A and B are shown apart, each in its own frame.
Chain A
């Protein structure tokens, strides 16, 4: 009888552990974040997105306002067409804003940063951010550094 209750306890503990793992997984990836909020879709075309992924965060002044929901290659311009979804309450993007791809820390994941422009007009839903800047490609920089070191 006592054996049984220990086994029962262990089982319960295991289930609890699994549940909390699940909770951590969902909470860390902020899956609940986009649900229940009205999102507005905009897009931006980049020359090079080097490692930006779908679901990467979109930030204005470091504050998370949305996420990347789609990445496609434009067949005609050979540029990356990136679709962004932004929370409606935070949605006031001047038309001349600039979108940049930045890295979290030195080698972290990529995210999209929007720097607000000065226009009094704001982007409409489904609009596109025209000013974009590509990422600094680390490999090129390292190559340059090595070359300069050799020269000395």
Chain B
């Protein structure tokens, strides 16, 4: 016999499962709504404590991101395959922090911009990767175009890359890291990331 509370939990679990399978747009939309709600709620505290933003990003956004894939694409085929398991997990940890702080910084300047997502046309069932287009409308100034590249894995859509006005996050980190990797491989890259983190 299901208690009422459990029943609601099951219902919620199911609905999020269905949404995940149906449309990545809905998923992103929900995430954005939750994120904005949190930002509005904690507006006063955020001015004093920027660390709180990292926490919010960590809680709401990170579960929507496929960090493994993102990290792999940033490092690239050759270097990722040469890296040891330890190096891979180290890199993943540092890179996740980089992504979180990138996002936190972007959100820090958030002030009631409207965010809208374009629907995906065509059949989703044939695809394992989709690009979701979204527009951020600031109070003044031109619209910012953000495209989320999402991958379906085990029935859930997760972000593997996003680009702002055509500049992709993965691509820009990739070119940033490329010459470090060329000079000293994963060892050098990890050393540099560690140094950056320490700053």
The chain A residues found within 8 Å of chain B, CB to CB, are 47, 74, 76-79, 94, 96, 98, 100, 115-118, 130-137, 140-141, 143-144, 147-148, 151
Contacts and interface: CB of A to CB of B under 8 A. Distances in A.
Contacts of A74: 122
Closest 4 CB pairs of A and B: A77-B122, A136-B166, A130-B129, A76-B122
A132 B133 CA distance: 13
A110 to B, nearest CB: 14
B131 A116 contact: no
Of A78, A94, A134, most B-chain CB atoms within 10 Å: A134
A48 to B, nearest CB: 9
B129 A131 contact: yes
B124 to A, nearest CB: 10
Given A74-B122, A144-B142, A47 B129 contact: no
Interface in B129-145: 129, 131, 133, 141-142, 145
Interface of B is mostly: mixed
Contacts of B120: 77
Given A133-B171, A140-B165, A148-B141, 4 more contacts: A96-B69, A133-B147, A147-B142, A151-B141
B137 to A, nearest CB: 14
A43 to B, nearest CB: 12
Contacts of B76: 115
Nearest to A76: B122
7 contacts: A98-B73, A100-B171, A116-B77, A118-B77, A132-B129, A133-B161, A133-B168
B129 A118 contact: no
Contacts of A118: 72-73, 77, 80-81
Contacts of B161: 133
Interface residues of B, number: 30
B121 A78 contact: yes
Given A117-B77, A133-B149, A134-B147, A141 B165 contact: yes
Given A94-B77, A118-B80, A136 B165 contact: yes
A64 B23 CA distance: 37
B165 A144 contact: yes
Contacts of B121: 76-78
B121 to A, nearest CB: 5
B163 interface: yes
Contacts of B151: 131
Given A130-B129, A136-B165, A143 B123 contact: no
B128 interface: yes
A39 B1 CA distance: 63
A133 B163 contact: yes
Nearest to A94: B77
A137 B129 contact: no
A116 B163 CA distance: 19
B81 A131 contact: no
Contact of B128 (A79, A115, A130, A144): A130
Contacts of A135: 166
